[in-house]
Amino acid sequence: MEAKIQQKGVNEIVFEYEPIADTANPTTPTPPVAHPEDKETEIGNHGPLPSEAQLDYHKEELAAFIHYGMNTYTNSEWGNGKEDPRYFNPTNLDTDQWIRTLKETGFKRTIMVVKHHDGFVAYPSKYTNHTVAASPWKDGKGDLLEEVSKSASKYDMNMGVYLSPWDANHPKYHVATEKEYNQYYLNQLKEILGNPKYGNKGKFIEVWMDGARGSGAQKVTYTFDEWFKYIKEAEGDIAIFSAQPTSVRWIGNERGIAGDPVWHKVKRANITDDVKNEYLNHGDPDGDMYSVGEADVSIRSGWFYHDNQQPKSLKELMDIYFKSVGRGTPLLLNIPPNKEGKFADADVARLKEFKATLDQMYATDFAKGATVTASSTRQNHLYKESHLTDGKDDTSWALSNDATTGSFTVDLGQKRRFDVVELKEDIAKGQRISGFKIEVEINGRWVTYGEGSTVGYRRLVQGKPVEAQKIRVTITGAQATPILNNFSVYKTPSSIEKTDGYPLGLEYHSNTTADTAGTTWYNESEGVRGTSMWTNKKDAKVSYTFTGTKAYVVSTVDPGHGEMSVYVDGQKVADVQTKNASRKRSQKVFETGDLAPGQHTITLVNKTGEPIATEGIYTLNNDSKGMFELESTNYEVEKGKPVTVKIKRVGGSKGAATVRFITEPGTGVHGKVYQDTTQDVTFEDGETEKTVTIPTIDFTEQADSVFDFKAKLTSVTDGALLGFATDATIQVMKAELLIKDQTSYDDQASQLDYSPGWHHETNSADKYQKTESWASFGRLTDEQKKKTTVTAYFYGTGLDIKGYVDPNHGIYKVFLDGKEVPYQDGMGNASTIDGKKYFSGRAAQRQGNQTLVSLKGLDENLHVVTLQLDPDRNDLSRNIGIQVDQFITRGEGSELYSKADIIQSISKWKDDLSNFDPAGLKNTATARQAFQANLEKLRNQLSADAVDVQEVMLTVSALQDILSKDDNYQRGQEEPSPEQPEHPEEPSKPEQPAEPKQPEIEYNKAMASLTEAIEKKVGELGSNNEAKKKLIELANQAIAAIQEAKTQEEVNKALESALEQISKLEAAQVQPEKPAEPKNPTQPENPVQPEKPAQPEKPITSSSPEEGVKNLVFTLPSLEIVNKPVPFKTIRRENALLDKGKEKVLSEGKDGLLVEYVEVDGDNRKVVQTETTPAQDRVIEVGTKQSSVGTEEPPVVTLPEHPLPAQPEKPITSSSPEEGVKDLVFTLPSLEIVNKVVPSRLSVAKMPY
């Protein structure tokens, strides 16, 4: 059969097979019939060619690693081979979930780790006992490899097998016995590949032989040739990964990043034990064998599952995708199952988000069917310009006359907004292209959009979103005549757009065009356009002459650099400090104001003799047409009311120009949260401001939620440009969230905590409450610069900090409850550095009442937010500033607190927590030991001379996390055991004899005997109240002694002593006297905390009357224990990343229990003590996402919500009746003592005042 492959997008591969003639006895080959159009021959092959297995891997693109085994249960990455097989015991293995998830999210093959370096084997091998057969899982009858194979067959998932050559467990893994070990490994290959129950319907498509070997391991020489021979005999044309020169190679890193260039060919002789990672990352343009570079990376930081790790963000995964698949390299992404035997919910959600993003990106190819004009086309019917845009991978285009350079231009027919350009090379005939450039036509000029080296199977070039109609591709280098299969144009979802760089259309003037006026400068091959120059000569100068209305100076900053003076048209306008803590290239160090139209000169002068550098300048030169920008990047509006967005025209306003304004969905979608608005806004000559009004909808579904959408400027006419601020986030919410549930404070509120060096102004016009606070590096000491902060302590669900933005303000860090908050759209003003957004006070123009920080949706609790001038991303030598004006707390009853208030509240919480008995926690590093260590850490932090509340909150959060996890607690009557030194949880040993049961202590029997003696003595004492007082005192002492007894022997001794003293008590022996004060009188308003709140204490047992009580009524009521279930609540909350109409149960509900100890005295019933086990809420996430792509998950900026319990009800052991109380009821109920650990959910409570 001969295969023809058609491919549409990333996940649609169609294999079509056609019969071919029998060529077992070929005769003289018949030359092909010439096609009448052909004036040039078909292009021949070039260099080493891929096999069908290698081609298939290129076309599949996405593969999944599954690391699951012994390390999963020992919390390790590399085991030592000494692990007990009984550790392996999945509780809910679901391989169908694995494979179904991978299939649904676009993966085409999975590679299962069957044996890692520890030697534990995932199937019952007959050549070793270190397998699943020795585990308790399925009573030793399980076969993990078979389970995965069945699932792969069920869902038709191509399957590979990982079998580590290094085996730390096998006794023959030694140089002296390497022959036996090599045979053992071969036997395992035969067990796997030779067994029809393994693989996808018995077939494997890849064998993965990890080259890793521990530093202390024996240097066993592997018999690779013998192994490879068997593999090929068993599976035919199969992909083999190894450290040898095989069909698949490691890409040289575990970050999933392929190089540029990346050649899928290497020289066989270069693949040795000491091959450089750089060589593997780039391949070899002169390679003599085809070798697919495989980019492997884990979705988490570890290869095996660990509870304390989280999956990579969507942006991280997409960046990896563009740098692996987008460079023609298959991506092998690891998804590790957890101890339960399932993919973690967070990982599954991220994979679905990843797939939805790819689907949305590839949904529309704007170039399909577009017109193509080439510099030349080979005159053969196989190669046509139209083939580039026909959407097929089995047609192609090539240059004529065996040319290796040339170009083609694609006309999309109309302006399209896009940010990804795709090229595909016909690699079946050999990889050829070594250089290319992509340009877009903007206002009649060709502007470089992207460039690169190799193309390969699929090359994706992502840039800033641009609106253009024509795209030009130039092949700048190739080893042989390039053959391209396809050209496509796509638009990514807004969540992963690139927003870094300068506006397209600005002119760049390289340092190579500058006038050095005869002074000394030294050239370098680095910078924004690959060139720069520097000087360390004082007064050395360089001048750039340009025509335009604005300019931006681009330079390299460095720890050894100094000041440059900037002159515009001969006038000094600034001294710019280019010294920086770290070396950074292509930094915008200066921006001119608006200039008059015409020719200008910028001159840079070395001021001090320290080195300075220049790469070039960007200029705005569009005949004073200017640039269009949005005035603000963040808006808030009440639902149902319109929001007005202002558009500004900067850098010139000559002539009429039109800018297109659009809206795009975010967490809110049009038709439900806002009315979609697309408007062409025309500015007449001289106009510099216009507004657009967007209607919002008074939505009733999820009315308490805050939704957002985007407003964007996408294109302009008549020679104008799009500027820096071209999109804004608009948040829509109910009025209460805007007005009622927020409290405003001026910047000089007493609760705010400023670091030294801030200046506080009063009577400042146009400021909130006419006050302002500011700081600048120019007025701070070196130490103060490292920590220029303002901290707000508050109770509520959010906080906004408002102030001024300014060209000389800096980049900020924001910390919430001890953790730095990564910037997300809608969180305030931002600046972009190297493609990443940061909190910032920087802006092109000074403007007040700007939102610097906006944190919403926090748990209703105490929080600490710190705003800091970033000492790492700001130049400490420049006079960079920060200015705040207003602080707004959000949430019902929200308010600021002082640092002292916060410390007092946390200290009280710490004291409450000190009563918790950690014996109920497992004695592991992540449970009891972590609890004790963090509690001690909290004590130390709170007792420090200067308390760092951010660090305190981080410790509080750690304690809450420990106490909130059910897995951290002992189960049933399980006794804590010492931690297994190498592995956090040692499974229970099978067939171990049970511990002898401890004899029960007969507290009730002792209490009954004591009650009987007291009742008898009361009758004997008659009306002698003084004697009765003595009796009560003895009873108190006896009860306390019995309660404190730990053994039956101690109980018996306490009872015997009490009975002896009571029997000796006679009425005549007790003379009337003023009763003594009790040793420790109970203060009802401040009851003593029980030592172990998790263990019920005994209820009321005695009381002491005040002087003047005439009649003491002694009763013996019964004690009734009433169990009342506490129904769990079902909480439904929105998830903007989950498709609308879908729901996901995050945690199942569990009823709590309220235990009431009821004193029954005839018809009177009194609850004397209660114990509560809180109900666990059932949490359901409800999807709100309209489009097929979710947005980036919001940053983790909330403390886990663990409500602080009320003061534990301490059983009353004595009391003094109020004045006028005539009858004191003294009770001795029976009490059943049950020892159990009740996990407490703790939170820092709101201040009581």
CA angle 881, 884, 887 (to 5 degrees): 155
CATH number for the region 364-496 comes to 2.60.120.260
Q: With a cut of 70, say whether residue 1084 has pLDDT above it.
A: no
pLDDT band at 1044; cut points 50, 70, 90: confident
Mean of the pLDDT values across residues 862-868?
A: 94
Mean pLDDT of 305-311: 86
CA-CA-CA-CA torsion sign (893, 896, 900, 906): positive
Look at residue 1240 in the predicted model and tell me its pLDDT: 33
Question: Is residue 446's pLDDT more than 50?
Answer: yes
Domain 507-620 has CATH 2.60.120.260: yes
Q: Could you tell me how far CA 1156 lies from the centroid of its own chain? A: 44
The top-level CATH class assigned to 741-897 is mainly beta
Tell me the backbone φ, ψ of residue 935, rounded to 5 degrees: -65, -40
CATH T-level assignment (fold) for domain 62-362: TIM Barrel (3.20.20)
Q: Are 109 and 63 in contact (CB under 8 A)?
A: yes
* pLDDT higher at 170 or 769: 170
What does the pLDDT read at residue 1125?
Answer: 75
Calpha distance 846→827 (Å, rounded): 19
Give the pLDDT confidence of 697-746 residue by residue, as tens digits.
Answer: 998 877 877 888 889 898 899 889 998 788 898 989 887 777 567 888 98
> Does the structure show a pLDDT above 80 at 272?
yes
Report whether pLDDT(931) > 70: yes
464-520, pLDDT tens digit by residue?
888 899 999 999 999 999 999 999 999 999 888 875 467 878 888 989 999 998 999
Query: What is the reported pLDDT for 464?
Result: 80
pLDDT above 70 (res 595): yes
Q: Which residue has the higher pLDDT, 1212 or 456?
A: 456
The pLDDT of residue 1094 is above 70: no
The pLDDT value recorded for residue 667 is 67
Q: How far apart are CA 494 and CA 105, in angstroms?
A: 20
3-state secondary structure of 778: helix
- 364-496 shares its CATH topology with 741-897: yes
pLDDT category at 1199 given cuts 50, 70, 90 is: very low
User: Which residues make Cβ contacts (< 8 Å) with residue 260, sequence separation at least 6?
Assistant: 327, 452, 453, 454
Is the per-residue pLDDT at 554 higher than 80? yes
pLDDT, mean of residues 1100-1121? 40
Q: How far is CA 600 from the centre of its chain?
A: 48
DSSP 159: E
| Whole-number pLDDT of residue 846 | 81
Residues 6+ apart with CB under 8 A from 1044: none
Token representation of residue 727: 């999109």
Give the fold, CATH level 3, of 627-737. Immunoglobulin-like (2.60.40)
Banded pLDDT at 1126 (limits 50, 70, 90)? confident
H/E element, 767: none
Residue with token string 């069917």? 369
Residue type, 639: K
Instruction: Give tens-digit pLDDT for 914-923.
Output: 888 888 888 8
pLDDT of residue 1163: 63
User: Comparing 64 with 1012, which gets the higher pLDDT?
Assistant: 64
Given the structure tokens 């927590």, which residue do they identify? 913
351-400 residue pLDDT tens:
999 999 999 999 999 999 999 999 999 999 999 999 999 999 999 999 99
DSSP H or E stretch at residue 671: none
Residue 985 has pLDDT above 50, yes or no: no
Residue 124 identity: P
Locate 438 and state its tokens.
């992509």
- Residue located via tokens 């676009």: 106
What's the mean per-residue pLDDT of the chain?
82
Give the pLDDT score at 61: 97
Of residues 1221 and 687, more confidently modeled: 687
pLDDT at 1236 over 50: no
Contact 978, 923 (CB under 8 A): yes
Q: What is the mean pLDDT of residues 283-296?
A: 96
More confident residue, 809 or 3: 809
Beta bridge partners of 200: 203
pLDDT class of 1113 with cuts at 50, 70, 90: very low
Q: What local confidence, expressed as pLDDT, does residue 1099 receive?
A: 34
Residue 203 pLDDT exceeds 50 = yes
What value does the mean pLDDT take over residues 588-600?
90
**Regarding beta strands 563-568 and 599-606, do their DSSP bridges make them parallel or antiparallel, or are they unpaired?**
antiparallel
Q: Which residue has the higher pLDDT, 970 or 474?
A: 474
Least confident of 212-216, 248-252, 317-321, 1190-1194: 1190-1194
Confidence check: pLDDT of 18 > 50 = no
Q: Kindly tell me if the per-residue pLDDT of 83 is higher than 90.
A: yes
Least confident of 280-294, 543-557, 763-777: 763-777
State whether residue 177 is helix, strand or coil. helix
> pLDDT of 932-964, one tens digit each?
999 999 999 999 888 999 999 999 888 888 888
Q: Count CB neighbours of 130 within 10 A.
A: 22
Using CA atoms, how far apart are residues 615 and 675, in angstroms rounded to an integer?
46
Q: Does the structure show a pLDDT above 80 at 640?
A: yes
What's the pTM? 0.49
Residue-range domain boundaries for the chain? 62-362, 364-496, 507-620, 627-737, 741-897, 902-968, 997-1073, 1095-1249
Q: What is the band of 297 on the pLDDT scale with cuts at 50, 70, 90?
A: very high
778-803 mean pLDDT = 92
Indicate if the pLDDT at residue 798 is higher than 80: yes
Least confident of 426-430, 656-660, 871-875, 1006-1010: 1006-1010
Architecture of the domain delimited by 1095-1249: Single Sheet (2.20)
The pLDDT value recorded for residue 1022 is 72
DSSP labels for 359-422?
HHHHT--TTTT-EEEES---SSTTB-GGGGGSS-SS-BEE-STT-S-EEEEEEEEEEEEEEEEE
What pLDDT does residue 582 have? 62
